[in-house]
Amino acid sequence: MPTERSERRARLRSELALPFLVVATVAGGLWLATPTALDSAGLLLDQNNPVRLADRAVDKALTPEVARREIEAALAAGDAELAQSFAELAQSRAITLDPGLLARVAAAGTASAQAARSAKSFGMGLVTGEPEDGAGLAGTLLGDLFVFGDIRDAVREGGRLATGAEADELVLGLACVGLAVTAGTYVSLGAAAPARAGVSVVKAAWKTGKMGAGLVAFTARSLRGVVDLAQARRAVSGTALLQPATAARGLKAAVKLDKAEPLVDLVRDAGKVQAKAGTRAALDGLKLAEGPKDVARLAKIAEKNGGKTRAILKLGGRAALVLTTGAMTLFNWSFSALMSLIWALVLVKSLTERATRRVFAFSKKRRARKAARAAAALSLTPRTATQPA
């Protein structure tokens, strides 16, 4: 009898071993895949929210060591603005920085430390229209706002076109748009100022090679429908430098503002980034952008993060602007994890039902055996004879 019971238990264990092993394997796979699956699902949900994407990029990349290293590198390069951006970003993430390092950042950003650099940069931006920082863009904006900068660029490039030399049509087109937007800025008493600043930022980004290829293609394509290059070339031919007012009127007339809405939206967003996060953040962002939608996303990030934007772009790159991983890949991760979870639940349910049936069957057989033994024992009990009265 003990041998038969042992055999039944061994058979029950062997029948349940495989389902238990499968459930354990699936559960282990789920445990390993769940973090990636959850992250993938979160990215899919946030793909149209640039602020959340930027936060995710920072959460993955920013550590105390990274913050310290980036601040040290920025200070060594003389980039006080980037060092301050990283310090603000670290503090917003409750990352404790060395007080001595923070003191160095503060000292690098003082007015006295910036004065010499700012004066030189302002002059270079005013004369060349190729700014590298806020002071340089201030000089560029001053020149553009008072027409000098845009006429300078238009006359130079238009003159090259007129003589058959190689000219930068993108700079010429932006200069024409800048003149038209400048007129709108004066008329609206500054309401168009972000667009005016944005034209200068986009033009500077192109001149300094800080403009994404996709954004360059969009800008060039838009300008072809907005600016009559032949009319612009005629406006700056001959003695344009001696008659800047006449040249400016001719260049503005070459711009078809009724067709310029997509381009104006682009430069307005670029101007918002410059106003909220600074010139270098705007130039860094335009280098990452592949189209106007990216610049619009950048404007939202700058509006939310202000001076921290440049550090965010340095850490996250394009991942701070758009979903860089394929949406289908993320969907596959999430879907696979969900299917594995459903399969695991089905296996657990099946295993539970199977084990329950086995337990009930075993209990029923045990009760039957007990009843049989009791009946057998009762039948073997000797009967007591009844004595006659």
Q: Tell me, what DSSP letter sits at residue 317?
A: G
Q: What is the pLDDT of residues 52-93, one digit of tens each?
A: 888 888 988 899 999 999 999 999 988 888 999 999 999 999
Per-residue pLDDT, averaged over 288-310, amounts to 93
pLDDT of residue 69: 95
Q: Collect contacts of 348-355 with beta carbons under 8 A, ≥24 apart.
A: 348/23, 350/19, 351/16, 351/19, 351/20, 351/23, 354/15, 354/16, 354/19, 355/16
pTM of the model: 0.68
Q: What is the pLDDT of residues 234-279, one digit of tens each?
A: 777 765 555 767 777 777 788 887 788 888 899 999 999 989 998 8
Picking from 88, 377, 154, 224, the residue whose alpha carbon sits closest to that of residue 143 is: 154
- How many Å apart are CA 270 and CA 273, to the nearest integer? 5
Name the token pair of 214. 């996709």
Contact at 8 Å (CB) between 183 and 194?
no
Contact at 8 Å (CB) between 236 and 159?
yes
pLDDT of residue 269: 94
pLDDT above 80 (res 371): no
pLDDT of residue 65: 95
Expressed in angstroms, the distance from the first to the final Cα of the chain is: 47
Question: Under the phi-then-psi rule, with left for phi > 0, alpha for psi from -120 to 50, and beta for the rest, what region is 384?
Answer: beta
Give the residue with greater pLDDT, 201 vs 347: 201
